[in-house]
Amino acid sequence: MPTIMPIFGTRPEAIKMAPIVAALQDSDLFDCVVTVTGQHREMLDQVNELFGVVPDHDLNILQQRQSLSAIMTRTIDGLDKLFTHDKPDAVIVQGDTTTSTAGAIAAFYHSIPVVHVEAGLRSGDLFSPFPEEANRKLTSQLASLHLAPTSVSKANLVAEGVDPHDVVVTGNTVIDALLTTVGKKIPFTDHRLEELASTGRQILLVTTHRRENQGDTMRGMGRALARIADAEPDLVIVLPAHKNPAVRETVLPALEGKPNIIVTEPLAYGEFTRMLALAHIVLTDSGGVQEEAPSLGKPVLVMRENTERPEAVHAGTVALIGTDEDRIVKEVDRLLNEQAHFDSMANAVNPYGDGKAALRTLAALSQLFGLGLRVEDFTV
């Protein structure tokens, strides 16, 4: 029986890999050996605990304020040692983190086929998001099987010369994860959120972490949030703060003492999806949140200059607003105070998946190993 090794290390990879791990473990065609790099620690463990994923190997590479090179070298070194005595028949890497690209390189050096989940996303700017656009392009060069979430991402790969037969459109596994989690009404561990949920007050849910936004841009985001809180006393801003100290020390100072801003630790995935469902508006620079919020019909303002996820922008649920402080304030104000504008963005759309991405992934893996046939591609 072929052994498949999912390799992941950060929160979003863990969320998006969980449905695949579950499908592999349920299957009688494959053995599944889970390896985590530990690029994230608390934020990774939080997800694995929720989905009941127990890693077989943990490289435990996290360092505070780690450099990109440290993540890359520590991951390749750890996997290199692992592959000398535990060589899977294929590895699966997810998305565009440095863990995923390092995993692809280490596997390639050991002649292990690489399966790339969430393949083919492109912003078209090598430096934004940084380093993710480069990471995902590098991984595409090494992959044997490309699992594109949408037909747009498949077209990107084919335009770069990837053989269409090596691409399967699966939908994004984040929608599988979301659909199995969002309805569960998991209690908030932070009592302020449970109280807020019972009041029915309007919530602006905010997340930020992108490397290219760190520094002055994030200070501006903090000031924008403080101005929104002052101007809209009935609104409550909820900000689950990323663990990165570079994020906390720039965004949070401007928020201190504001009665209608709640800053929390990263929310466990079940709590976060419940907060997404409660939110009136979402303001974010996250990739995964851009995919999830549209399926819940939430208007999303994306604090970035570009996106590799154009599908929900085209559907009208996501707007790219850049990172300028005044613009952030203006765009939130518009959504709060112009009902027609809010209504035009508050459409539930599912351009990223139908909850069956893990099933299509399993079928594509079966075809790769001559054990079955792929199933029909995901279409909207």
The two three-digit tokens of residue 369, written as one number? 């190993």
C-alpha 131/C-alpha 148 separation (Å) is 20
Identify the DSSP state of 92.
E
Which of 124, 129, 75 has the alpha carbon at shortest distance from 101? Answer: 75
Residues 83-102 that bind ligand UD1 (CB under 6 A): 96-98
Residue 68 interacting partner from ligand UD1, ligand UDP, none (CB closer than 5 to 8 Å by kind): ligand UD1
Q: Which of 41, 57, 110, 211 is catalytic?
A: 211
Q: Which of 7, 8, 9, 12 binds ligand UDP (CB under 6 A)?
A: 12
C-alpha 92: how far from its chain's center?
A: 16
32 three-state secondary structure: strand
147 three-state secondary structure: strand
The two three-digit tokens of residue 41, written as one number? 């620690």
The two three-digit tokens of residue 21, written as one number? 């791990």
Which of 134, 99, 88 has the alpha carbon at shortest distance from 17? Answer: 99
Q: Is position 11 an interface residue for ligand UDP (rule: CB under 6 A)?
A: yes
Phi and psi, residue 93, nearest 5°: -120, 155
Phi and psi, residue 156, nearest 5°: -60, -45
Amino acid at 116: H
CB 47 within 8 A of CB 12: no
Residue 98 interacting partner from ligand UD1, ligand UDP, none (CB closer than 5 to 8 Å by kind): ligand UD1
C-alpha 377/C-alpha 69 separation (Å) is 36
Respond yes or no: is residue 96 known to be catalytic: yes
The two three-digit tokens of residue 365, written as one number? 């893996």
Which of 70, 73, 67 has the alpha carbon at shortest distance from 102? Answer: 73
Respond yes or no: is residue 291 known to be catalytic: no
Respond yes or no: is residue 209 known to be catalytic: yes
Q: Which of 28, 54, 65, 257 binds ligand UD1 (CB under 6 A)?
A: 65
Segment contacting ligand UDP (CB under 6 A): 192-200, 216-224, 281-289, 360-368? 281-289
Q: Is position 207 an interface residue for ligand UDP (rule: CB under 6 A)?
A: yes
Q: How far is the CB of 146 from ligand UDP (least distance, A)?
A: 19
Residue 118 interacting partner from ligand UD1, ligand UDP, none (CB closer than 5 to 8 Å by kind): none
Cβ-based nearer residue to ligand UD1, 104 or 368: 104
Cβ-based nearer residue to ligand UDP, 29 or 197: 197
Query: Is cis: bond before 299, omega within 30 of 0?
Result: no
Cβ-based nearer residue to ligand UD1, 136 or 374: 136
Q: Which of 39, 150, 153, 273 binds ligand UD1 (CB under 6 A)?
A: 39
Phi and psi, residue 132, nearest 5°: -65, -35
Binding mask 117-156 for ligand UD1 (x = CB under 6 A): --------------xx------------------------
Residues 217-256 that bind ligand UDP (CB under 6 A): 240
Q: Which of 13, 132, 176, 285 is catalytic?
A: 132
Segment contacting ligand UDP (CB under 6 A): 19-27, 142-150, 285-293, 336-344? 285-293
Q: Is position 74 an interface residue for ligand UD1 (rule: CB under 6 A)?
A: no
Residue 154 interacting partner from ligand UDP, ligand UD1, none (CB closer than 5 to 8 Å by kind): none
Q: Is position 66 an interface residue for ligand UD1 (rule: CB under 6 A)?
A: yes
Respond yes or no: is residue 314 known to be catalytic: no
Which of 257, 203, 207, 262 has the alpha carbon at shortest distance from 234? Answer: 203
Distances 230 to 79, 158, 207, 337, 369 between C-alpha atoms, Å:
50, 49, 19, 15, 59
Q: Which residues are catalytic?
A: 96, 118, 132, 209, 211, 242
Footprint on this chain of ligand UDP (rule: CB under 6 A): 11-12, 15, 174, 207, 209, 240, 266-267, 269, 272, 286-289, 292
Residues near ligand UD1 (CB under 6 A)? 10-12, 39-43, 64-66, 68, 71, 96-98, 131-132, 209, 211, 243-245
